[in-house]
Amino acid sequence: MSYNKAAWIAALLAGTLLLAGCQNVQETQTTSAQTTKASTTESSSKLSLDTDDYYADISDAQQIQLNEQSGDVKITKAGTYQLSGVLQNGSVIVDAKDAVVRIVLDNANIQSKNSAPVYVKQAEKVIISLPKGTASTLKDSASYTVNAKEEPSAALFSKADLTINGEGLLQIDASYKNGIQCKDTLKLVNANLQITAENDGIKAKDELLIYKGSYHVTAQGDGIVTTNEEKKGNLSIELGTFTIKTQQDGIQSAADLLIYDGSFTITSGGGSVNKVSSSSAQQPWGAFTDHDETSEKSQKGIKAGENLILYQGSYTISAHDDALHANGNVEIRDGTYTLSSDDDGIHADDTLTVHKGSIEVKQSYEGLEGNTITLQGGNISIQASDDGINAAGELGNPLLTIDGGTIYVDANGDGVDSNQDIVMNDGTLVVMGPTGGGDGALDYDGSFTMNGGNLLAAGSSDMAMAPSSSSKQVSLMINADTVQSANTILYIQDTDGKLILGVSPAKSWQNVVLSSSELSKGSTYEVYVGGTPAKVQNGVVTKANGGSKLTSLTVNDTITLYGSGGMRGGGQGGGMHP
């Protein structure tokens, strides 16, 4: 047999095999696929990922040169298909019932004028792989031809389980609606995606799992979202870098949202546009009457339909609505948070718990809000135009418990507020409260049980409150004769001249409440106003000298008052404002 005849027969056989799995492919060139080593040696310890979800070797792939095609490329059987080149006006359609299909985008550019560039109609599972060093694009138009269910509705649309893996770049320009939409389970594994979408960027119905990778999403709707509210719809993220800019929610889960680690930069709803100034009056923002979804669009940074658990990670969020929000519980295990919001910095309809971490609420209407708030540790700094920390909600019996951590609050409304009770067992709480009447540095309707830790609260005297008399630890409430200017320090020392506790208020003040384990009944303390602080951190003065001696106080009760104004805390039933 001649060499030319043998080559012709081999080419014919290869083309026949390809056409068995692909329809409407004209003059497809088939060559041997290159074998690539697996780019992922590590596996997720948190997410339920299958072996084939990770990027692996490309072998036995059928190569499709898109330049050679006109119209749609249809895949109807299981296999690996390596696509490269440009498809000017057509779709890659997977219609392979009960089959596992792998599509390798190798510098592929797919454009469609009336449908999804990639449309998975049926399959058991589709895996889209992006080889390292490649760059592929999907681009649609503003108008689709859709079926009775208004499908497809994304540039990459799948009705089957979908996995996208590999470090190559995939750019998606979705002018119709969504960038990526999966009607089942979507897994993104160490992918590199850049998405611009007219509606949502990345959308999954039953579940969304993200492991590592880089994700840049700009969307007129939500950035990353799940939609199934029927005991599904969880969203889990382990590692990855996320840059998200949206007009609605940045990341939203219909059910639980778990983030184990990662780096997140999110701007939602145009970002936070109202600024908090420590010298400004309470501002008329935060016009959110409740946190239930209405006909108006939600514009939160990260939002969970049920529970939000953040294990660690770095978060920089600017949101027109809440920066972090859950319709159930919010639990922060660790991490670094820089939050700006036109409503709440962190909001839980039920329970908000902070174990540790660094949380800076740079601006907000209310800093932290939940029916039950438990602060166990971490460093927390809050700027708020209304309440700094607010235990309130519709579930009843609001409670704020502080078991540790360093907490700094600068609020133009109530600094720390509970519609029922406050319990402080440890930690340091520094409150820069309001300068005018109507609010106080501390506010509670039930009782404030001060059992341990350091408390320094400065503000106006009109509505000032001290902890309850049922507390285990001694507190002092001191009212200056006149309003003192900002940065005028107040400190107390024992009769030996040892400084016990001092505060450097960021705003003008007339009332200060202090509590420390170093204060004891039967002892006498000297109170100084003014002077020079030698050491100040977050408003706490630990070393000072000079100033004018205001008074000497002998502590005989759990709550000791000096001057007029303010309110001694009540017992178990609490006390009312004067």
How confident is the model over 432-455, as pLDDT tens digits? Answer: 999 988 899 999 999 999 999 999
pLDDT number for residue 23? 45
Establish if 147 belongs to a structural domain.
Answer: yes
Is residue 541 predicted with pLDDT exceeding 80?
yes
* pLDDT at position 125: 98
Q: In this model, does residue 502 exceed pLDDT 60?
A: yes
In this prediction, residue 297 carries a pLDDT of 83
Residues in the chain: 578
Predicted confidence band at 518 (pLDDT cuts at 50, 70, 90)? very high
281 pLDDT above the threshold of 90: no
Give me the chain's average pLDDT, please.
Answer: 89
Q: What is the mean pLDDT of residues 34-54?
A: 75
| pLDDT given at position 37 | 46
The DSSP symbol for 266 reads: E
Q: Does the pLDDT of residue 120 top 90, yes or no?
A: yes
Backbone Cα Rg of the chain:
31
Point out the domain boundary residue: 201, 220, 239: 220
Task: Output the CA torsion 308→421→480→546 (10° steps).
Answer: -60
CA 562 and chain centroid, separation = 44
Residues of the chain above pLDDT 70, percent: 87
**Count of domains for the chain:** 2
Residue 444 lies inside a defined structural domain of this protein = yes
Summarised one tens digit per residue, pLDDT across range 298-330 is: 999 999 999 999 999 999 999 999 999 999 999
Confirm whether 326 is domain-assigned. no
356-397 pLDDT tens trace: 999 999 999 999 999 999 999 999 999 999 999 999 999 999
Please give the pLDDT value at position 41.
52
pLDDT for position 296:
60
Q: Give the torsion sign (CA, 555, 556, 558, 562).
A: negative
DSSP string, 348-380: EEEEEEE-S-EEEEEE-SEEEEEEEEEE-SSEE
Looking at the predicted structure, is the pLDDT value of residue 4 above 80?
no
Residue 501 maps to a domain? yes
133, 172, 128, 39 alpha-carbon torsion, rounded to 10°: 30
Residue 463 resides in a domain: yes
Over 89-152, what HEC string results?
Answer: CCCEEEECCCCEEEEEEEEEEEECCCCCCEEEEECCEEEEECCCCCEEEEECCCCCCCCCCCCC
Q: Which DSSP category does 295 fall into? A: S
Tokens of 441: 């540095």
Structural contact between residues 293 and 316, judged by C-beta atoms closer than 8 angstroms: no
Predicted pLDDT of residue 59: 81
Residue 402: predicted pLDDT: 98
- Asked if 441 contacts 466 with a C-beta cutoff of 8 angstroms, the reply is no
Closest CA to 247 of 176, 174, 297, 187: 297
- Residue ending a domain, among 163, 194, 220, is 220
DSSP state of 283: P
* Helix H or strand E segment including 9: helix 3-21
Mean pLDDT, to the nearest integer, of 251-274?
96
pLDDT tens digit sequence for 448-499? 999 999 999 999 998 999 999 999 999 999 999 999 999 999 999 999 999 9
Identify the top-confidence range among 70-74, 142-146, 265-269, 276-280: 265-269
**pLDDT bucket at 78, cuts 50 / 70 / 90:** very high
8 A C-beta contact, residue 434 and residue 459: yes
* 337, part of any domain: no
* Residue 573's pLDDT band (cuts 50, 70, 90): very low
The total of other beta-carbon atoms located within 10 Å of residue 142's CB is 10
pLDDT at 567: 56
DSSP 8-state assignment for residue 268 = E
**The two structure tokens encoding residue 261:** 């680690």
Q: What is the pTM of this model?
A: 0.90
**By percentage, how much of the chain surpasses pLDDT 90?**
83
pLDDT score recorded for residue 32: 32
pLDDT in tens, 197-247: 999 999 999 999 999 999 999 999 999 999 987 879 999 999 999 999 999
Helices and strands of the chain, counted as H and E runs: 1, 48
Please tell me the predicted confidence (pLDDT) of residue 290.
35
**Would you state the pLDDT for residue 569?**
52
d(CA 208, CA 313): 19
pLDDT surpasses 90 at 279: no
What does the pLDDT read at residue 230?
Answer: 81
User: Rounded CA gap, 480 and 529, in Å?
Assistant: 9
By residue range, what is the domain housing residue 154?
20-35+46-220
User: Of 220, 244, 271, which closes a domain?
Assistant: 220
Spell out the alpha helix ranges (H) of 138-265: none
In a domain, residue 260? The reply is no
User: What integer pLDDT is reported at residue 26 of this predicted model?
Assistant: 33
Taking alpha carbons only, the member of 228, 358, 205, 202 closest to residue 306 is 228
C-alpha 538/C-alpha 525 separation (Å) is 23
The verdict on residue 227 lying in a domain is: no
